[in-house]
Amino acid sequence: MSTTQTPHIALFPSAGMGHLMPLLRLSAMLAKRNCIITVITAHPTVSAAESDHISSFLHRNPEINHLKLHLTRGSLIADSAAADPFFLQFHLINQSIHLLRPLLSSSSPPFSALFVDMFLVARTAPIAKDLHLPVYVVSTTSIEFISLMAYLPNLQLKLTEFNNASAEIKIPGLLPMAMSSFPPAFLDPNHLFTSIIIMNSQALSEAEGILMNTFEWFQASTLDTLNKERVMTSLPPILPLGPLEPYHIPPDGDHHYRSWLENQPSDSVVYISFGSRTAMSRDQVRELEKGLEKAGWRFCWNLKTSKVDKDDSEDVKDILSDFFVERTMNKGVILRGWADQQEILAHPAIGGFVSHCGWNSVMEAAWQGVPVLAWPQHGDQRLNAKVVEDAGFGLWERKWDWGVDGIVKGEEIERKIVELMTDEKLREGAKKVREEARKAVESGGSSDRVIRDVINSLTLPF
Ligand code: UDP
Ligand code: UDP
C-alpha cells in the first residue's frame, strides 16, 4: 500500500511589497491546503512595510516556518548609490544566493519544492536542481509582461530600432505589443532592471510551471495559445491560480479613513493609489489636486512622495496646497503610510480606482469589481493597463506619459475621473469580472483546480 507524503514547500520572494504580498498570500493558501510551508526572506529588507508584514504575517500564521537569508554586502554595482533600491536588492539577493543551499539542504522534513520569485529563478534553479527539488516560478506580473521577459533575449539587438511610438512587436501567442509600452529601461541593456530581467528570462524554462496571479476566464485565449499550442518554447506551462487570496490582518489602530468611508454613499468615492513604491512629483501632485477638485467626486488618495516608505515622512500639510485642502476638506481623505488597499477597495463607497496598474492592484480591483482608470508609471504597467482595458473594466489614456517623463494636466485628469465614475458600461464590465473571479477561486473553480493539481504533483508516493 502506498501512502502519500505532505509536501514541504519553500517560498522565496524577492524585494518590495509587490513581490512579497503575492508570495505571502500564496504561502497562506498552500498552508490552508495542508502543505508544510517555509518562507525564506532576505534581510535586511528595503522598506519598513516589508519587515512589518513579514513579522505580522508570521505572528498570525504560526504554522508557517521562517528562514532568514542574511544578505552579504558583496561587490556593489558601479552606480549603486543612484540605483533604484529595490532593483539593487534583487542584485544583492542574487549575489548572496550561495547562502540558500544550506537553508534548502538542512531542512527537516526535507523540502519537496521551491517556489521562487520570477526575478530570482536564474540563480536558484541550479541549486534546487542539484538538490533534486522541482522549481515553480511565482509571477508577480501579467502574462503579457512575463512573455515579453521570456522573449526579450530574441529582441536584444533590435531594441534601438524599435524606439518609435508606432512600432509594434509580435510575440508568438500574444496580441501585438506597442514598443511604447515597453519599460524605457529595456532600451539600455546595462540598466540593472534590464540585466536582471534578461538573466532570469533564460531560466524560466527550467521551471515546472509559472504560478500566475490571474484566472482562466480573464485571459482565456492567451492561456489557451500559450499552454495548449506551446508557441513559446522559452515558457513553461502558465498556471493561473488567482486572484490570490488576501490573508487577513486585523486592522491596526483607528485609521481615520475607515470611519470616513463609512459615511460616504455607495460608489461615490474615487480611490487613488500608485502602489507601494511610486513617488508622485510635486508638480504632478498640484495637477492631481486640480483634477480632483474640478471632477467634484469624493476621493480617498493614498499619497506617496518617496520610493521607500522610510523616507516618506513629510506632513500632508507640507505636500498639498492650502488652497486644495481648504476647498476639498469635506470631500476627501488623504492616506499617508501603509493603508490596507484590499480593505479599501472592498468598501461599497469606492466607485473607481485610479491605479498605476501594478499587477497586484489590477487583480485586487478585479476581485472587488472596481472600475479602473489606468495611469501606468513605469515597468510592466502599460502592458498591464492594456489587459485591464481589454478585459472591459478599465480606461487607459495612452497619451499620458510615463511618470518620470511628463506631467498630466489637471483638466485631463478631471475628464478621465468623470468618465471613470460615470461610465455604466465599465461598471457592468467590472461586475462581470468580479463574478468570474469569484467563480475561479471557489471549490472546483479553475484556479482552485490549478492549485490542487500543483500540490498533487508534489505529493509523491513513498
Ligand atoms: N498596498 C497596500 N497599501 C499601500 C500600498 C500598497 O495595501 O499603501 C498593496 C497593494 O494592495 C498591492 C501591493 O501593496 O497588494 C502593491 O503591489 P502592486 O503590484 O499593485 O504595485 P507595486 O507596489 O509593486 O508598484
Ligand atoms: N478571496 C480570494 N481571492 C481574492 C480575495 C478573496 O480567493 O482575491 C477569498 C477570501 O479568502 C475568502 C473569500 O474569497 O475566502 C471572500 O473574500 P473577502 O474576504 O475579500 O470578502 P468579500 O470581498 O467577498 O466581501
- pLDDT tier for residue 254 given thresholds of 50, 70 and 90: low
Q: What is the pLDDT at residue 56?
A: 94
Residue 19 bears catalytic tag: yes
Is the pLDDT confidence value at 81 over 80? no
- Note the Cα 104 to chain centre separation in Å: 26
Q: Is the sign of the CA dihedral 53, 13, 199, 148 positive or negative?
A: negative
Whole-number Å distance, alpha carbon 360 to ligand 1 midpoint, is 6
Q: In this structure, what C-alpha cell is assigned to residue 277?
A: 513604491
Whole-number Å distance, alpha carbon 249 to ligand 2 midpoint, is 13
Scanning 33-186, the segments in alpha helix (DSSP H) are 48-60, 85-95, 100-105, 121-130, 143-155
Q: What is the pLDDT at residue 1?
A: 37
Most confidently modeled of 151-160, 190-199, 345-354, 452-461? Answer: 345-354
Residue 448 bears catalytic tag: no
pTM over 0.90: yes
Q: What is the pLDDT at residue 162?
A: 57
Q: In this structure, what C-alpha cell is assigned to residue 416?
A: 478621465
**209: three-class secondary structure by DSSP:** strand
Protein residue closest via CA to atom 12 of ligand 2: 245
How does pLDDT run across 266-323, given as a tens digit for each residue? 999 999 999 999 999 999 999 999 999 999 999 999 999 999 998 888 889 899 999 9
Question: Ligand 2: which of 213, 215, 367, 450 to mutate, most ligand atoms within 8 Å of CB?
Answer: 367
How does pLDDT run across 219-228, given as a tens digit for each residue? 999 999 999 8
Q: What is the pLDDT at residue 231?
A: 85
What is the residue type of 151?
A: Y
Q: Which of 392, 49, 366 is nearest to 213 (CA)?
A: 366
Phi, psi of 358 (to 5 degrees): -60, 145
Q: What is the pLDDT at residue 247?
A: 81
**How far is the C-alpha of 167 from the C-alpha of 338, rounded, in Å?**
39
Q: What is the pLDDT at residue 11?
A: 98
Whole-number Å distance, alpha carbon 441 to ligand 2 midpoint, is 9
Mean per-residue pLDDT, 95-108:
95
Is the pLDDT confidence value at 460 over 70? no
Question: Which atom in ligand 1 lies closest to the alpha carbon of residue 335?
Answer: 8
Is the pLDDT confidence value at 426 over 70? yes
**How far is the C-alpha of 348 from the C-alpha of 351, rounded, in Å?**
7
Is the pLDDT confidence value at 161 over 80? no
Candidates 117, 255, 309, 347; catalytic one: 117
Q: Say yes or no: CB of residue 45 within 6 Å of ligand 1.
A: no
Q: Say yes or no: CB of residue 359 within 6 Å of ligand 1.
A: yes
What ipTM was estimated for this complex? 0.89
Scanning 106-252, the segments in alpha helix (DSSP H) are 121-130, 143-155, 192-201, 220-223
Protein residue closest via CA to atom 9 of ligand 2: 245
Q: Which of 148, 141, 177 is nearest to 359 (CA)?
A: 141
**How far is the C-alpha of 380 from the C-alpha of 335, rounded, in Å?**
25
Phi, psi of 374 (to 5 degrees): -80, 125
Q: Say yes or no: CB of residue 360 within 6 Å of ligand 1.
A: yes
**How far is the C-alpha of 91 from the C-alpha of 94, rounded, in Å?**
5
Whole-number Å distance, alpha carbon 246 to ligand 2 midpoint, is 7
**261: three-class secondary structure by DSSP:** helix
Q: What is the pLDDT at residue 462?
A: 40
Q: Say yes or no: CB of residue 47 within 6 Å of ligand 1.
A: no
Mean per-residue pLDDT, 153-167:
67
Is the pLDDT confidence value at 197 over 60? yes
